Amino acid sequence: MKKLKAMNSETYRIRKFLDDQHGVRVALVNATEAVREMQSIQSTGPIATLLVGRAMVGATLMASQLKDGEVVSLYFKGDGPIEKVFAEASFEGGVRGYVAHPHIDLPDNKGSVDLGSAIGKGLLTVVRTHPKRQSSQRGTVEIQTGEIGDDIAYYLQQSQQIRSAIAVGVKMNEFGHIEAAGGVLIELLPAADANIEVIVEDQFRRAGSISEAFARGDSAEQILDRYLGGFKIHELPHPHVVAYTCKCSRERLLDAMELFTEEDLDDMILKKKPVVARCEFCGRQYALELAEISDIRNRRFSTKLH
């Protein structure tokens, strides 16, 4: 059992590499278990699983290139039937995701699904935060294709001036079971010349599907050889494992109660119905006592409840 766990933690460790001579840095992540966990908690259908899964992989890759404790949130909001896709990941590999409509179906277009039309036209907002700092960094770009990877690359170019190549993928079998989920993010440092960009793009095009590679059980070295063969990359220490993580708490839920109006709170109190709220990310349930709801009401509104 112990051994199995050790193997798993190596499988899901986020790997980072650098070729300082050519100015290329790389992050690689196998997020299969994390995306499976999201799917089992939220019972997402195939389209939602693919989109949230890809966004979770993308957020994990982006966060791994930041600093200790930092968090990246990706928020896609479009005019397509899925409306919203959210994913959030920390430098340490904690990741969670959420979708507004987990069960939408799209017409099958000759056996291939047009994921882009599920999100439609709209905006991608990326927020970078640190729990110990007040300020956050926020950037918004137009959604390019809604396939997630292209949109992240576009954001990095437009908002951060980082040239990148990114592949994020989720592979499901015909029963909707996730066989693999993972991705690779290659970023060019400012020193990398245009020639390097052409080589990276060319290899990237020919590298094949990233989720197929993880499903086959290819090693990180085999995958990187396909994406960056010829580059002299060396691994950077990064002892973090990707895992589905939710930081919800009773306090945060009570904060959310601030959104309720005086009438809403009065209604809960009059009906003497304890409130059970469920976290949409992790399924955890929080029961609130009537006294707690009364406290919130009395703190916020001075009029007496009759």
Q: Which is nearer to Zn ion, 99 or 210 (CB)?
A: 99
Burial class (CB in 10 A: 0-12, 13-18, 19+), 199: middle
Q: Which is nearer to Zn ion, 156 or 248 (CB)?
A: 248
Q: Which of residues 183-242 bind Zn ion (CB under 5 A)?
A: none
- How much of the chain is helix, strand and coil, in % rounded to 5? 35, 30, 35
* 86 near Zn ion (CB under 5 A): no
Question: What Å distances lie between residue 132 and 69, 70, 89, 129, 162, CA to CA?
Answer: 8, 9, 16, 9, 26
Least distance CB 101 / Zn ion (angstroms): 19
What token pair was written down for 252? 């945060």
Which range touches Zn ion (CB under 5 A), out of 39-47, 110-118, 282-290, 295-303?
282-290
Question: What Å distances lie between residue 135 and 70, 75, 218, CA to CA?
Answer: 12, 18, 40
Q: Which is nearer to Zn ion, 238 or 284 (CB)?
A: 284
Least distance CB 30 / Zn ion (angstroms): 23
Among 50, 51, 196, 282, binds Zn ion (CB under 5 A): 282
The three-class DSSP label of residue 86 is strand
* 38 near Zn ion (CB under 5 A): no
Beginning with the edge strand found earlier in the chain, give each strand of the sheet holding 137-142 in spatial order: 137-142, 122-129, 71-78, 84-90, 94-99, 243-244
d(C-alpha 267, C-alpha 273), whole Å: 9
What sign results for the dihedral spanned by CA atoms 189, 228, 213, 110? positive
Q: Which is nearer to Zn ion, 153 or 279 (CB)?
A: 279
Which range touches Zn ion (CB under 5 A), out of 39-47, 76-84, 163-171, 277-285?
277-285
Which range touches Zn ion (CB under 5 A), out of 55-63, 141-149, 192-200, 275-283?
275-283
* 293 near Zn ion (CB under 5 A): no
Identify whether the C-beta of residue 119 lies closer than 8 Å to the C-beta of residue 151.
no
* 279 near Zn ion (CB under 5 A): yes
Least distance CB 248 / Zn ion (angstroms): 3
β-pairing verdict for 137-142 and 84-90: unpaired
Which range touches Zn ion (CB under 5 A), out of 52-60, 79-87, 100-108, 280-288?
280-288
Site string for Zn ion, 140-179 (x = CB under 5 A): ----------------------------------------
Identify whether the C-beta of residue 57 lies closer than 8 Å to the C-beta of residue 29.
yes
d(C-alpha 293, C-alpha 275), whole Å: 9
Among 76, 155, 227, 281, binds Zn ion (CB under 5 A): 281
Site string for Zn ion, 243-262 (x = CB under 5 A): ---x-x--------------
Least distance CB 268 / Zn ion (angstroms): 21
* 57 near Zn ion (CB under 5 A): no
Q: Which is nearer to Zn ion, 104 or 246 (CB)?
A: 246
d(C-alpha 237, C-alpha 106), whole Å: 42
Contacts with Zn ion by CB under 5 A lie at 246, 248, 279, 281-282, 284
